[in-house]
Structure 1
């Protein structure tokens, strides 16, 4: 297994902004894989892969993927990333990336699974933080039986 070559923002502003797309293009042409595929195939499962996917998505220049991320952020922030809805959202997110990046899902079924798990973790965590923040902001109300029950 190869270690993915990922260009990140710590490389410097000018270099990062202008040279990174050239390196990504070169790697896409030589490996036949986009950056997300190189991450999902080359990075170990768990936090390292999820963080690398999140960073790659955050640095995208693709308007379709930026729109997808805004949509996923909205869903997670409004706590709608749950149940059967979650499966449909994941399917749609993975399908969007497959179309934009021109990835054949039959050939790259491992990517579909790995990337789907990363999306689930990234936006599941975002929703969890939104839920915790809502709980933190809820003031104690002594007239509310549920609040009183929790103090015992």
Structure 2
């Protein structure tokens, strides 16, 4: 009844009112999401679960179904379109990272092997390698001679996160790797990195990264943006670890949980976005 009264008095549907009341970002997109989820029209609800959504077509369908006169409200379609790109991009991103996580790393697959050797060349440029199956992988913080055992839980996603970090923020990645061998507070660089992939994947799937992506990405959140969150989290966790001054690596689970609470407290803020200015390059 309230919606009907507002429609009659303002001449705008609920989605129009949302798009004109909120600035671009998480608050607007999440309000649009909520409105679509409560709609009585099945054609609108399905937009929230489709990872193959064409945002432009969806915007046109909504305009038609809601009877919106865009000649009187020219800003509505661009605002709605951005929200739909956020929503569809997030769904696509969840599907993509889940697929990569389920793809098992194998040294028998040349592309996998080449990615790991690339990680080595980026982090240890002065020391060449021809195979990943040697004791020297411990220099990157792997636990055994075969990195596949460490990637088991996160699959190819864990490797791609590490490679992106080393390739795009090489100075920071090499600094973190070097400091991970601290005689008192050291930890296994690659193993910790894979655990952080698991943490970020969990946050993504529980929709706890929505505010960050909706505030910081104008279009569709993509794997690139997921990788950037990983780089931020890795550097931030590294500093957090040393600030806690752990007695040994056996405290890793406790400190990771503390860091998770710290991160979640910020992710719940509607206007938040993770900043990575501290990355050295």
Q: What is the TM-score with the length of structure 2 in the denominator?
A: 0.40
Distance 2:100 2:42 in 1: 34
Which protein is bigger by CA-based radius of gyration? 2
Distance 2:115 2:56 in 1: 38
Runs of 4+ in 1 over 4 A off after TM superposition: none
What residue is the counterpart of 1:59 in the other structure?
38
**2:59/2:81 contact within 8 Å kept:** yes
What residue is the counterpart of 2:20 in the other structure?
41
Equivalence map 1:123-142=2 (5 Å) = 123-142=88-107
1:148 to 107, 113, 123: 113
What residue is the counterpart of 2:60 in the other structure?
95
Give 5+ residue unaligned stretches, structure 2: 118-281
Aligned residues: 117
Q: What does the per-residue CA deviation read over 1:35-59, in whole Å, with 9 as the maximum and x for residues that have no partner?
A: 1001000012111101110111111
Equivalence map 1:3-42=2 (5 Å) = 22-42=1-21
Distance 1:49 1:113 in 2: 13
Distance 1:128 1:110 in 2: 27
Distance 1:148 1:126 in 2: 29
Return the offset for 1:150.
2.0
Distance 1:131 1:64 in 2: 24
| 1:117 matched to 2:82 | yes
What residue is the counterpart of 2:52 in the other structure?
75
Distance 2:94 2:55 in 1: 19
**2:39/2:45 contact within 8 Å kept:** yes
Return the offset for 1:74.
4.7
Q: What is the TM-score with the length of structure 1 in the denominator?
A: 0.71
Q: Which one has a larger percent helix, Structure 1 or Structure 2?
A: 1
Q: What does the per-residue CA deviation read over 1:44-77, in whole Å, with 9 as the maximum and x for residues that have no partner?
A: 211110111011111110133235x27x70515x
**1:40/1:114 contact within 8 Å kept:** yes
Q: What does the per-residue CA deviation read over 1:17-51, in whole Å, with 9 as the maximum and x for residues that have no partner?
A: xxxxx111111111111110010000121111011
- What RMSD over aligned residues (CA atoms) do the two structures have, in Å? 1.6
